A and B are shown apart, each in its own frame.
Chain A
Amino acid sequence: MKKTILILFAACFLALTPNMTKAQGLDFDSFLEAGIDDASLLLESYLQPAFEGFGFGMNSGWYNTAKPHKFLGFDISGSISLARVPDSNQFFTLPTGLTNVSLTNPSDTRRLPTIFGPNLGADDLPELRFTDDNGDEIIRISAPTGLGIDEDIVPFNAVPVPMIQLGLGIFKGTELKLRYIPEQDFEGDGGVKLFGIGVMHDVTQYLPAEKLLPFDLSVFLGYTNLESYVNIDEAAGQTAEFNANAWTVQGVISKKVLFFTAFAGLGYSNSNVDFNMLGDYSTETSTFTDPISLNYKNAGIRTNIGVRIKLLFLTITGEYAIQEYNTLTAGVGFSFR
């Protein structure tokens, strides 16, 4: 029955850790016994902060000043963004509309952790009861635990999003930014590729007395696309696919004092994340083809503040963005001209 156990472990993160298909203590085929619709509803709720957080994180780390590079000036930087999962998204209640999944104990008032909820042992997790279409019990399983990221790595639950990018000054106060990871194949376990492009344009040049202005002011537009997949069972043609698109438009202001540049932005961000499980998945009674297709969309105002320290060519950046998933970004890079 079980070819793919423990599939819930954030499929978007599986690429580098094939054993993680076995890491969540949850029998995906058992989920399917409860029907595709129920499996989708459960997965959607459980994985929601991972995918939403990833979308918010992708829109971070684009810039650390409002002053574009001079012609052919450039920078190379790497960053890690931590999209903080709101407390309200660390747990979920069983979604309405489930037909074959219920709490074993209907009076159990405990909520279920999402993947970015606390790491709980089986005794502290509600138990789910899976039934067939006749109402007969198939299996009972502890609700999947959260990972408890805040126990070890950072003092809060956050979705990490690493990024690397290049900035290049072109003309008339315009800077082009590129994010690019060519298609990577992880020895048959999965693959990933990333492309992003951004444009920053200085608007102070259009203002009167621009030389007298004590700050830099630009507009920024950025778009990032990530495509990845994980081979759950390559021989069986079972794959998890994770695609994300994010774009943001911002007004950016900055002020440089000695080595320090303080910057702030205000604008709008949007993300769209798809997660699909492709292939045939068999239960004791049925075979399901491409059983899971989830989509997460988020959009809203994004405000950020940050500071950059520049020592010769070395830049060190910290940024905090206020949005649904407040995001802390730290970066380091080299900047010329």
Chain B
Amino acid sequence: MPVILWGCGDAGVQSDVSKNIEIDPISVQLSVPAIAVGVLVPQTPPISVNTGQINLGSDDFDEYLEDTERFTINKMSYTIDNFPAGSSADLVIDMTIQIQGESSQDLLSIRIDNVQNNPVNVLLFDKDAPGLVSTAAIASLEQALKNGTSFQVEMTIVGEDVTLQSQDVDFDFIFQFDVTARIQLLD
């Protein structure tokens, strides 16, 4: 029987384990002065929100972590949920990542038109076509996953061409990360 064990070839036992992970929704509140309810507002003051600490490595790949050679972030996407009907806005968002114990890094700036359409699974980043996303920030994230270090995504959001039917409008911003762990069990 040990023949079987010794007989494993050069590649060893290697596997990619991939998960599409949805982060807990971020609650966002877009506000206008009472006097501006139902009125087109060219721009709202910036608001800051963040995901809170995320640890994909420990939370979602814990059982593989010690055998993981590397993590790859394949895709990042977002979903807007619960933006109320009747209100409308475009959003300009600056995203940074902050890995625990490190300083923040710029990740991406995006514009979301017609957020009232509640867009679903909109691609922010694709490893095969990184676009405007900072590849350095992505590399730092992947290393953080391997180290089991938590991080958070911070967003500064400005509403443009905003028309709200109430002074405050709440909606959810949801991140999805598609992540692959390369696992090497036997060399």
Contact = CB atoms under 8 A, between A and B. Distances in A.
B6 A5 contact: no
A139 B19 contact: yes
Contacts of A149: 3-4, 7, 9
A22 interface: yes
Contacts of B185: 6, 22-25
Interface stretch (A118-126, A171-179, A212-220, A249-257): A118-126
A152 B4 CA distance: 10
B17 A148 contact: no
Contacts of A6: 13, 185
Contacts of B85: none
B4 A122 contact: no
B180 to A, nearest CB: 8
A2 B18 CA distance: 15
Nearest to A157: B7
B12 to A, nearest CB: 7
Contact of B10 (A9, A13, A119, A141): A119
B117 interface: no
A13 B17 CA distance: 25
A17 interface: yes
Interface in A24-53: 24-27
Contact of A16 (B2, B8, B14, B16): B2
Interface in B151-187: 182-183, 185-186
Contacts of B16: 122, 125, 127, 140-142
A306 B10 CA distance: 34
B7 A151 contact: yes
Contacts of B12: 119
A148 B14 contact: no
Given A22-B185, A139-B18, A139-B19, A121 B2 contact: no
Given A10-B4, A23-B185, A153-B6, A142 B19 contact: no
Contacts of A145: 11, 13-15
Interface residues of B, number: 25
A236 to B, nearest CB: 16
A147 B186 CA distance: 11
B19 A20 contact: no
A22 B20 CA distance: 24
A10 B1 CA distance: 10
B5 interface: yes
B14 A121 contact: yes
A145 B17 CA distance: 13
A1 B63 contact: yes
A83 to B, nearest CB: 13
Contacts of B19: 139-140
Interface of B: 1-20, 63, 182-183, 185-186
A-B complex: 5 closest residue pairs judged by Cβ atoms: A148-B9, A119-B9, A25-B15, A151-B9, A140-B18
6 contacts: A25-B17, A25-B185, A139-B19, A140-B16, A147-B7, A151-B9
Given A25-B183, A140-B17, 13 more contacts: A1-B63, A6-B185, A10-B4, A23-B5, A24-B13, A25-B13, A119-B12, A144-B15, A147-B8, A148-B10, A148-B11, A152-B7, A152-B9
